Structures are given as structure tokens and as C-alpha cells.
Copies of this chain bind each other. A is one copy, B any other.
Amino acid sequence: MAWNTNLRWRLPLTCLLLQVAMVVLFGVFVRYSPEADAHWIEGKEPGNRSSDLENDFYYRYPSFQDVHVMIFVGFGFLMTFLQRYGYSSVGFNFLLAAFGIQWALLMQGWFHSFHDGYILIGVENLINADFCVGSVCVAFGAILGKVSPVQLLIMTLFQVTLFSVNEFILLSLLNVKDAGGSMTIHTFGAYFGLTVTWVLYRPNLYQSKARQSAVYQSDLFAMIGTLFLWMYWPSFNSAVSNHGDAQHRAAINTYCSLAACVLTAVALSSALHKKGKLDMVHIQNATLAGGVAVGTAAEMMLMPYGSLIVGFICGIVSTLGFVYLSPFLESRLRIQDTCGIHNLHGMPGVIGGIVGAVTAACANVQVYGQEGLAHAFNLDGFKTEWTPSLQGSFQAAGIFVSLAMALVGGLFVGGILKLPIWGQASDENCFEDAVYWEVPEEPKNAASHHEDSTLKAPEP
């Protein structure tokens, strides 16, 4: 089928329409939180700020910037591994994230920061908006190379909405702890994206197979993404934890888990190759699974060795997933998962939810202390009788809610994206920047080649 990939009116109109809507909604709803307002609003904020230092800005801004780098450079460059899709990987990720953070500020704001008709935003809202967009970046990985930027903006619009509803159910209704988002970000994002790509199944994608692989330089660019994700993940998992020991502990646990994960990912990558060679796909992705899998439990008393064990397991599971499960999913279940997000975010996300549930269920006064337990699980305003095993059950329920939201939402959004009006490329022109970008000609062949020559004419 020959689709029209000229986005000249569709993309500009979509962008402008969405951005005008953001301006209007921000004008009606969004104001500064008292800590960012020149006019300190007395009585709005519990606690008295005796000093500028008590401003939440100083507790969270460094972590915010690290998370920001993960979303834009981390996810953006991680996906540049494809030989002819670097502009789109970085550029579309940039576009969807820039829109997504605005929409997330509104959606999450209505649910969590709504006071007297206004959403009051501060640095924690910025972090949470980045988090929410992180789940869209995850889902983008499954459909990378096969969708137009218009589709991505529409997916972002819906996914951010669904994310916020799911997050509200988990955090506010079920009182689940999920500071690093194993469930809300990774499990939800991955299974949402996998469902969307299942709906968008392309039977003739093999026609673009030649471009669905790396070249030498593109794998190095991807390592920039991998390393910034890996290095800053301790900030990701600790960014919105309680001040003090919880942030401190979350960073330590994530650091440990990620370190262990690298060794087992390398071990499996080599062991599964007939000549013992390493595969960049595993190094780029499976080494990160440890960060995903402590997303829920990092702020809990998981203990450093507990973190190592989680990372140990996830490096193995993730690499095995790339080698055995991804081909199976594609050939049998028709799930074309470009970046293998099931291995990096799907399975480790579910593992992370389980680890969190078990860790919460094992919480006790001996380990946390009386005050520490109340502080760690925010028991001050808790109405019903709280027990660790109850917390564990709610945590486990959170996994299933996230999965259900992802599957139902993914079917719905996938159906919308399947409409042949969004400028998507034909099966033989996937994974190709030249479809949507002005691509420079190679300098040596400047005279003989035209940029579009890499694009095949769609079959009639």
C-alpha cells in the first residue's frame, strides 16, 4: 500500500494545535508552587521555611537535571543504533518529550497538585513530568522506525493521559510505593508499546531489514545513550523519594544493582555467541535492566546485597530475552519490537514490581525502626490498619493494574494509530530518515546521487 508520507500540513497543524492547547490550559490552570512563587503564600505549604535552603529546589534539582539528561540524551541516543535512523531517533524523541512534559504537568497536576482551582508546580512536578514522558520513550522503542512523528504526538497525548490515570490509581488509591517507576513507568510503558506495535503489525517489514541494523559509528552513538542512562539511573530512582535517608538509600541500591547487571549481561552475551563474542545490543540494553528492576524497591531497605541479586538476575533475564524471546515474539506473536523493550523494560519492570512487593511485605520494625517505618511508608495519614503484608498485596495489585491499563490502552491507541492518515511510511521505507528529514548527500557522491534515491518507490 502506498501511503503519503508528506507531512507538510499534518505535522505543523498537529504541533501548533497541541501547543496552543497547552498555552490555553496552562493559562487557566498552572501557577507556581509556593516554593517557586515570589509571593510566598502563607498557609498553603505545611511546615515553615526558615531558610532558603529548605526550598525543595535544593533537595531535588540536581536529580532533576540528571533525569532530564536521561530522557533527552539517554533515550534519544540509545535509539540511534540504527544505521539510517539517527535523526529520527534523537529528533522525534525530542519532539514527543517536549510535548509530553507539558501535557504531563497538566495531567499529573490535576491528579496530584490541584489546589483551589490551580495546579501549583515546582521542581518535583518537573521530575514527575519527565518520568511520565519516560514511559512514552519506552513505548517509542517498540515502534521505532515504523511510525510518523504525527503518530508519535498522538500516542504521547493518549499515553500520558493513561499513565496519569494509572499512576493515580497506584499511588493515591492503592497507596503503592513506586518512586523509580518499575510499574508506572517501565511495566506500563513497555506493555503499552508492545500492544501498540502488535496492533501496527507490518507483515512485509522484512523489506526494510537491510536498514534494521547498526553500522559501526551508530553503535558508538548509542553507547552515549546507554552510559548516560546507566550513570544517572541512581538519580532517577531517588529523585522523588523522601528527603534524607530515602534518597540516599535509593541512589546506593540503584548503583549496586546496575553494577551487578553489567557483569551478568556481559557473561550471557559472550556465552550465547558461538565464538564467545560480545553483542553491542546486549551491552547497550541489558546492562540497564538492573536500574529498571530496583525502581520500586530502591528506596526501601532492599540492602546492598539485595540490589546486587536483583541486578544479577536481570542482566541474565534481559540478555536471554534478546537472544531467545524477541525472535519468538516477532515470529509467533507478531510483536515487532525494534529496540527490544520487552527485555529492557517489560520483564525487568515486572520483576521490579515483584521485588518491591516482596520487600514491602518483609518490612518490619527491627529493620526500619518505629519512626523509620512510618516515614518510609507514609503511614501518618493512613486510615486503615496497615501491615507490611497488606502493603505487599497492594504493591502486587499495582503490577496487574499497570499491565491491564497498558494492554487495554495499547489496543485503543494502536487502533487509532492504525488509521492510514498519519503519514506513516510503507513497509519498505521503514527505518529511514530520508522519509521525514532533509538528509545531506554523501560528500563524495554529491554529483551523482539524489538524497531521495535511498527511498524505494512504494509498491503499487
Q: Which residues of chain A have a CB within 8 Å of any CB of chain B?
A: 6-13, 15-16, 18-20, 22-23, 26-27, 30-32, 35-40, 51-59, 61-63, 65-66, 68-69, 72-73, 76-77, 80, 83, 86-87, 90-91, 94-95, 98-99, 101-102, 105, 121-123, 126, 149, 210, 213-217, 219-221, 223-224, 227-228, 230-232, 234-235, 243-249, 251-252, 255-256, 258-264, 266-268, 270-271, 273-280, 283, 287, 300-301, 303-305, 308-309, 312, 367-369, 371-373, 375-376, 436-440, 442-443, 446
B residues less than 8 Å from A264 (CB atoms): 15-16, 19
Complex Cα gap A376–B275 (Å): 55
7 A-B pairs in the complex with CB atoms less than 8 angstroms apart: A15-B264, A27-B305, A68-B231, A86-B220, A87-B283, A98-B262, A102-B256
B residues less than 8 Å from A300 (CB atoms): 38
Which residue of chain B has the shortest Cβ distance to A290 in the bound complex? B98
B residues less than 8 Å from A280 (CB atoms): 87, 91, 437-438
B residues less than 8 Å from A303 (CB atoms): 30-32
B residues less than 8 Å from A72 (CB atoms): 227, 230-231
B residues less than 8 Å from A6 (CB atoms): 275-276
B residues less than 8 Å from A223 (CB atoms): 76, 90-91
Please tell me if the beta carbons of B305 and A23 are within 8 angstroms of each other in the complex. yes
Contacts A22-B308, A55-B243 supplied; 6 other A-B pairs, CB < 8 Å: A6-B276, A8-B273, A36-B249, A72-B227, A98-B262, A277-B436
B residues less than 8 Å from A443 (CB atoms): 83, 210, 215
Task: State which of B73, B91, B98, B245 has its C-beta within 8 Å of the C-beta of A259.
Answer: B98
Complex Cα gap A31–B249 (Å): 10
Known contacts A6-B276, A38-B369, A266 near B149 by CB under 8 Å: yes
Task: State which of B31, B62, B243, B312 has its C-beta within 8 Å of the C-beta of A62.
Answer: B62
Please tell me if the beta carbons of B65 and A440 are within 8 angstroms of each other in the complex. no
Complex Cα gap A13–B267 (Å): 7
Please tell me if the beta carbons of B260 and A22 are within 8 angstroms of each other in the complex. yes
Complex Cα gap A220–B31 (Å): 37
B residues less than 8 Å from A213 (CB atoms): 440
Please tell me if the beta carbons of B259 and A15 are within 8 angstroms of each other in the complex. no
What is the CB-to-nearest-CB distance from A173 to chain B, in angstroms, rounded to a whole number? Answer: 25
Please tell me if the beta carbons of B219 and A440 are within 8 angstroms of each other in the complex. yes
B residues less than 8 Å from A68 (CB atoms): 231
Please tell me if the beta carbons of A220 and B65 are within 8 angstroms of each other in the complex. no
Please tell me if the beta carbons of A248 and B36 are within 8 angstroms of each other in the complex. yes
Complex Cα gap A283–B439 (Å): 13
B residues less than 8 Å from A53 (CB atoms): 53-54, 58-59, 243
| Shortest Cβ-Cβ A-B pairs, 5 listed | A8-B276, A52-B244, A98-B262, A39-B369, A15-B267
Please tell me if the beta carbons of B442 and A216 are within 8 angstroms of each other in the complex. yes
Complex Cα gap A271–B371 (Å): 59
Task: State which of B219, B251, B367, B439 has its C-beta within 8 Å of the C-beta of A216.
Answer: B439
Task: State which of B19, B65, B436 has its C-beta within 8 Å of the C-beta of A66.
Answer: B65
Complex Cα gap A126–B372 (Å): 23
B residues less than 8 Å from A376 (CB atoms): 38
What is the CB-to-nearest-CB distance from A325 to chain B, in angstroms, rounded to a whole number? Answer: 19
What is the CB-to-nearest-CB distance from A280 to chain B, in angstroms, rounded to a whole number? Answer: 6
Complex Cα gap A251–B235 (Å): 18
B residues less than 8 Å from A277 (CB atoms): 7, 436-438
Please tell me if the beta carbons of A440 and B215 are within 8 angstroms of each other in the complex. yes
Task: State which of B12, B276, B367 has its C-beta within 8 Å of the C-beta of A268.
Answer: B12
Complex Cα gap A23–B94 (Å): 39
B residues less than 8 Å from A279 (CB atoms): 437-438
Complex Cα gap A304–B106 (Å): 11
Task: State which of B259, B268, B283 has its C-beta within 8 Å of the C-beta of A101.
Answer: B259
What is the CB-to-nearest-CB distance from A63 to chain B, in angstroms, rounded to a whole number? Answer: 8
B residues less than 8 Å from A440 (CB atoms): 83, 213-216, 219
Please tell me if the beta carbons of B94 and A37 are within 8 angstroms of each other in the complex. no
Complex Cα gap A37–B99 (Å): 38
